[in-house]
Amino acid sequence: MVISEVLQLYIQDRAFISLVGAGGKSSIIQLLARELLSQQKKIIVTTTTKMFTSQANTLSQGGKLIESSDSKVMEETIQTFFKQHQSGIVALLKQRFLEKEREKFTGPESCYLNKWWQEGLADFFIIEADGAKGRPIKAPLYYEPVIPQTTTDVVGVIGIDAVGLRLEEENVFRSSLFSCLTGLKHGEEINLDTITKIVNHPFGLYKNSPQGARVHLFLNKVNNKARSAIAEELACQILKNNKASINNIVIGDTIKEESPVQQLLKSEKVV
């Protein structure tokens, strides 16, 4: 199975997808954009936080990289591109900067993304709405995640390799806040109960999700039988409580680009 299939995007004409969490957001964005491009869709990809410029360059190989600090210029360039092309990927880059000697970029503000969605500039918007510094799991700071209000689908991401790691900053982004939200002390190992707490906590993984948006969870890096069993147990535990109103949980591994989805568990309580 592919990601657009399990998110049921193939039966939708349009969707505004925001990804939050840690452990594979950028990989999912790239796979999802390629899948939708193969379906002849018009796709906008950007971030409301920060992304590596190399990721934008990779994405724009299927279309165009639009770089401008002027939102009007950016809007007009998007319109021109999609008038000339029936489908394609447009990556939006507002400003470049260096962070620890690696180039990153910011995207347009959420207000413009909301406007362009409402005006129908593209069929699908795919937004990286959270940062995690490469860790497999995180807790959101007061202003995170930065989810545009027109979002129709929120995809939370967690790396299953977080299970068994000790609560330290090198393993968990914003580890002190993670400790406050879950009750886990620094140095203790992350377990299934810990992850269930950060998923279901009102100030956890899905904080700032717009009311009415469909909620999905992707448990990533499930690359062997042991991790598969752990992920399935975790998914069942999360859905049993399901305070976050998750519609479905995807178990998979984005390294397997042709078939990143191994299993799909659906909530019986959320329609």
Q: How far apart are the C-alpha atoms of 108 and 175, rounded to whole Å?
A: 29
**SS percent in the chain: helix, strand, coil, step 5:** 35, 25, 40
Model pLDDT, residue 271? 42
Q: Which residues of 30-46 are buried (b: 16+ CB within 10 A; e: fewer)?
A: bbbbbbbbeeebbbbbb
Q: How far apart are the C-alpha atoms of 60 and 97, rounded to whole Å?
A: 19
Model pLDDT, residue 269? 57
Q: Which residues of the chain have pLDDT under 70?
A: 269-271
State percent of the chain over pLDDT 70.
99
Pairing of strands 248-252, 214-220: parallel
Q: Token digits for 118?
A: 């409402």
pLDDT in tens, 60-90: 777 899 999 999 999 999 999 999 999 999 9
pTM score > 0.85 for this model?
Answer: yes
Model pLDDT, residue 222? 98
Model pLDDT, residue 91? 96
Collect all residues with Cβ–Cβ distance below 8 Å to 131 and sequence separation of at least 6.
49, 50, 144, 173
